[in-house]
Amino acid sequence: MKCWFILFFLALLNLTSAQDLGFATRAEKKTVVHFQLINNLIFIPVNVNGVNLTFLLDSGVAETILFSLDDKEVLFKNTEKVKFAGLGETVDLYGLKSVKNEVKIGKDFEDHAHTIFLILNEEFNFSSHVGIPVNGIIGFNFFKNHQVKIDYISKKITIYNDDNYFNRKKRRFEAFDISIEGKKPYMMASVKMSKEAKPSKLLLDLGNSDAIWLFPKLIKDFVYNRPNIQDYLGRGFNGDIYGKRSRIKELSIGDFTLEKPLTAMPDEYSIQHLSIAKDRKGSIGNDVLRRFTVIFDYPNSKIYLKKNRNFNEPFLFNMSGLDIKQDGMQWEKDVVQVKTENNTKNDGGIQVYNAENAIKYKFTLKPIFSIAAVRENSPAFRAGIKKDDTILEINNRKASTFSLQDILNLLKSSEGRNISFKIQRKFEILKLNFTLEDPIPYQD
């Protein structure tokens, strides 16, 4: 149901953003950064002023944002108040701007005068929706000085520092022009809703876990494809984002054509405070980009694409109607069986079992999951699952043995699949069953 992402821009009060030189690498040819891919979003390790944190990598943001510290202490100097605005239905969100921070990513990728915007408000912390602690978002400055390759299969980012070396590595890729506007990358692609393909200017948005976003108010004679559903699309820094979801017939990038991609269309209230680049019609999200090995080349206004093994995968939808979040961790007691060869003795031909040494208890931190929202008329809604229910079991298996990504994969797995949830609602334990059902199959 929810594709969690953050999308916003900065409106500064009586100040202008410092012109950071950005990251530099000490590596002769390249440096490599490993990442986690969760629900089509990329998370990288970032060291800020000597403290290790985790950030979302997001080409759709202009600045670096920090919104959570998870009880860690980071020293920030040179701060002043700023105002933020972006996707969502409310405005007037304030934070702090901090300059001259030491930021390091991987062994060699460093910025010694990095500007960070701080919004230390747990309302904007989306860690519970990805299942790992997330401290912030990093965007334009990560990309602006180097060619950056993202390999979704190996989960490695390669940052190049040698033009000759890079030119050899890009040979098997298809090159496309991009424009960098407001510190964000845009490209032209062909969008075919049903019959007619239209060239469309789209933001390349790593921070959006959907396939495509389209802005109906910005597209002449826009008609929603049917079937479609009204849905909660996510949360921006200024509030919840609502709109419709459906499928379009095709998205084409040059000779690459992707069939029946899922498409989200935010309503006009969700984009009313968004500063939109001229002629922009929407966004290409990570459910499209993850089907390629991608090289962003901001210095030369290019993007390079090469199909990977994900290319022909169908665009899958969470067919349950559930938005699930992780509510922290709890200690669970697991019984561990111990070998007992040395724990028996022969007493007159009778074996005596030393039970005291045969069993050990192991205490492990396990995740707790609950229901954040249920889409009306969805299979889970009809089964009676409600917001704030705690999930105890999924298909007769302890919920704590799943990761959040495991649960999302299950709920996207295949139409017609039967799912059972054991849930706790206050003091009541319920077992509820539903069948996965795609509410938005593409229809000609």
Whether the per-residue pLDDT at 122 is higher than 90: the answer is no
Residue 11 has a pLDDT of: 40
Question: What mean pLDDT do residues 217-235 have?
Answer: 86
CB 323 within 8 A of CB 372: yes
Residue 333 has a pLDDT of: 57
CA distances from 102 to 98, 143, 327, 400 (A): 11, 17, 32, 38
Amino acid at 163: D
Residue 12 has a pLDDT of: 39
The Cα–Cα gap between 181 and 200 comes to 16
Question: What mean pLDDT do residues 410-438 have?
Answer: 94
CB 115 within 8 A of CB 101: yes
Question: What mean pLDDT do residues 311-328 have?
Answer: 90
Structure-model confidence comparison of residues 389 and 28, the more confident one: 389
185-201 pLDDT, tens digit each: 999 999 999 888 999 99
The domain over range 8-169 is classified in CATH as 3.30.56.10: no
Q: Tell me, which fold does domain 175-307 have in CATH?
A: Cathepsin D, subunit A; domain 1 (2.40.70)
For the chain, give the number of residues. Answer: 444
Question: What mean pLDDT do residues 394-403 have?
Answer: 93
Backbone angles phi, psi at 151, to 5 degrees: -105, 105
Whether the per-residue pLDDT at 354 is higher than 70: the answer is no
* Residue found by looking up tokens 């999308």 in the block: 7
Mean pLDDT (the chain, rounded): 84
Whether the per-residue pLDDT at 269 is higher than 80: the answer is no
51-101 pLDDT, tens digit each: 999 999 999 888 899 988 877 888 887 888 887 655 444 556 678 899 999
Domain 322-336+362-435 CATH (choose: 1.10.490.20, 3.30.43.10, 2.30.42.10, 3.40.720.10) = 2.30.42.10
The Cα–Cα gap between 117 and 63 comes to 7
The Cα–Cα gap between 163 and 173 comes to 16
Residue 236 has a pLDDT of: 65
Domain with CATH 2.30.42.10 in the chain: 322-336+362-435
Beta bridge partners of 303: 176, 296
> Would you place residue 336 in the very low, low, confident or very high pLDDT band (cuts 50, 70, 90)?
low
Nearest to 64 by CA among 20, 107, 108, 106: 20
Domain with CATH 2.40.70.10 in the chain: 8-169, 175-307
> Would you place residue 245 in the very low, low, confident or very high pLDDT band (cuts 50, 70, 90)?
very high
- Is 380 strand, coil or helix? helix
Residue 3 has a pLDDT of: 42
Those residues whose C-beta lies under 8 Å from the C-beta of residue 217, and which sit 6 or more positions away, are 268, 271
Those residues whose C-beta lies under 8 Å from the C-beta of residue 205, and which sit 6 or more positions away, are 5, 7, 58, 59, 60, 213, 283, 284, 285, 286
Helix residue ranges per DSSP H, 64-162: 140-143
The Cα–Cα gap between 222 and 267 comes to 13
* Residue found by looking up tokens 């998370």 in the block: 43
* Residue found by looking up tokens 């334009």 in the block: 140
**Lowest mean pLDDT: which of 63-77, 89-103, 118-132, 404-418?**
118-132
Residue 43 has a pLDDT of: 95
